[in-house]
Amino acid sequence: MKTDSPHVLVVDDDAGLRSLLQRYLGENGFEVRCAADAVEMDRLLVGTQPDLIVLDLMLPGEDGLSIARRLRGATDIPIIMLSARGEEVDRIVGLEVGADDYLPKPFNPRELLARIRAVLRRHGPAGESAETPRSDGIRFGEFRFDPASQQLTRAQERIPLTSGELGLLDAFVHHPNRVLTRDMLVDLIKGFDRSPFDRSIDVRVTRLRRKLERDPANPVFIRTVWGKGYMFTPQGEPLSR
């Protein structure tokens, strides 16, 4: 049975790290379960959906990227990826397959706690029901976005978005027809963290376009303004030249 505490599932083959995170996150108000690999994770997911998954990239058997890709095809549970390598390419690939955030090892548990709280804030209150949005929301094209419930719908059907995609869409709909640089978007997305030369914003824009645009290669809602950034055009019309 689900408790009022947010439920975090930690998937990592390091027994010491699993024990540390279970104790530390538990002391900070989270219900924590742990798995050493994909097989154990799948067993724990039967009948129970966590509020967030902390997923190691390097796992025995099925690796973290494959797991994230599989999970994202079936659910919008937020995912924070961990990697001992900490290479920028790992972070980009992780975000491309649907992870919400990425943290290189070794890390301070306090930083992971902050990242978890930030992702959960962007994703909405733990356990919030995915019912019809509570207000008329913001309409563009065939879509309706409700900032209060953080839900995007098309023809009454909810479109699942990761917390990163939700944060980006929220920033866009509240600043329509205005060029937003990558730095401005970072500032607008609460809890977002990036390192120098990070392509995270571009990756998230690409993923969001796949869900909004009929032809992501020729977008009508999220436009690229070359040399400057991006512009959200809710009317779905070409930019004037």
Q: Residue 186: pLDDT band by 50, 70, 90 thresholds?
A: confident
User: Dihedral (C-alpha) 125, 126, 131, 137: value to the nearest 10 degrees?
Assistant: 20
Amino acid identity, position 40: E
* Phi, psi angle pair for 135, to nearest 5°: -140, 175
Closest-CA residue to 54 (of 73, 70, 32, 76) = 32
Rg of the Cα atoms in the chain? 18
| Residue 119 banded pLDDT, cuts 50, 70, 90 | confident
Regarding whether 119 and 11 lie in a shared domain, the answer is yes
Same domain, 144 and 194: yes
156 and 119 belong to one structural domain: no
Q: Which range of residues forms the domain containing residue 224?
A: 138-232
Whether pTM > 0.85 for this model: the answer is no
239 in a domain, yes or no?
A: no
Does residue 87 fall inside a structural domain?
A: yes
* pLDDT tens per residue across span 80-117: 999 876 566 666 777 777 788 888 888 899 999 998 99
User: In this model, does residue 77 exceed pLDDT 60?
Assistant: yes
Which of 23, 8, 89, 105 is closest to 56 using CA atoms? 105
Task: Residue 203: give its domain's CATH number.
Answer: 1.10.10.10
Are 88 and 167 in the same domain?
no
Q: Are residues 151 and 105 in the same domain?
A: no
Statement: residue 128 has pLDDT above 80: no
Decide which of 96, 123, 150 is a domain's last residue.
Answer: 123
In a domain, residue 241? The reply is: no
- The answer to the question of residue 180 being in a domain is yes
Query: Does residue 113 sit in the same domain as residue 150?
Result: no
Element (H, E) at 186: helix 182-188
The verdict on 114 and 145 lying in the same domain is: no
pLDDT of residue 83: 85
Do 164 and 91 sit in the same domain of this protein? no
- Give yes or no: residues 198 and 100 share one domain: no
Measured CA to CA, the distance from residue 175 to residue 21 in angstroms comes to 38
How is residue 58 written in tokens?
A: 């390097």
Mean pLDDT, the chain, integer: 83
In a domain, residue 179? The reply is: yes
- pLDDT tier at 188, thresholds 50, 70, 90: confident
Residue 184 falls inside a structural domain: yes
Count of structural domains within the chain: 2
Instruction: Look at residue 129 and tell me if it is in a domain.
Output: no
Same domain? For 54 and 118 the reply is: yes
Could you give the percent of the chain with pLDDT greater than 70?
84
Lookup: tokens for 152: 């995007």
Round to whole Å and give the CA distance between 147 and 58. 36
- Nearest CA to 84 out of 63, 109, 59, 104 is that of 104
The Cα–Cα gap between 39 and 35 comes to: 8
Alpha-carbon distances, residue 82 vs 48, 94, 168 (angstroms): 22, 10, 22
Half-sphere exposure of 138 (CA within 13 A, CB side): 20
User: Is the alpha carbon torsion for 39, 117, 94, 13 positive or negative?
Assistant: negative
153 shares its domain with 100: no
| Interaxial angle between packed helices 109-123 and 163-173, expressed in degrees from 0 to 180 and rounded to the nearest 10 | 60
Q: How far apart are CA 201 and CA 119, in angstroms?
A: 15
| Mean pLDDT in residue range 28-49 | 92
Identify whether 91 is part of a domain: yes
Does 228 lie in the same domain as 184? yes
